[in-house]
Amino acid sequence: MTATIYHNPDCGTSRNALALIRHAGVEPTVIEYLKTPSSREQLVMPIDEAMLKPREALREKGTPFAELGLDAPGITDDTLIDAMLKHPILINRPFVVTTLGTRLCRPSEVVLDILPPVTRPFAKEDGEVVIDANGKGGL
């Protein structure tokens, strides 16, 4: 299986999704999207494949969302995409693309939808159990 994660190492959700991917035995391509800005096509592709609207892929907290007026009525999808390209911190994370699909992995365990079955125990970095000792859990 191939996998790509659009990752922000400063984000706990992104770190947990990456750890779950590796726990499933998959070594993904890791794209630190804040260091390696996407082209318009590279940004739109995972949003479309995850069946989201650009507004659903926007991050508000800790970003220039409000200063840019992106909450104003009538803002077009193209305007939102342009803002995300100019300010990648506006892109919600992590997006994960595998041969089984594409998801915005918030919460991180959403990634289990697009990975091979995982039955070994796994806990997030804060200790929250995602898969217990009996192989139960997930979404």
pLDDT tens, position by position, 10-68: 999 999 999 999 999 999 999 999 999 889 999 999 999 999 999 999 999 999 999 99
pLDDT digits (tens, 9 = 90+) for 71-130: 999 999 999 999 999 999 999 999 999 999 999 999 999 999 999 999 999 999 999 999
User: Which two three-digit tokens encode residue 93?
Assistant: 């994370």
Q: Any long-range contacts for 103-106 (C-beta under 8 Å, 24+ apart)? A: 103/50, 104/46, 104/50, 104/52, 104/56, 104/57, 105/13, 105/14, 105/17, 106/13
Average pLDDT score, the chain:
95
pLDDT value of position 37: 86
Cα separation, 20 vs 73, in Å, equals 38
Q: Which of the following CATH numbers is that of domain 38-91: 1.10.287.90, 3.30.420.40, 3.30.450.40, 3.40.30.10?
A: 3.40.30.10
What fold, for 1-33+93-139? Answer: Glutaredoxin (3.40.30)
Q: What pLDDT does 139 receive?
A: 47
Q: Indicate which residues carry an active-site annotation.
A: 11
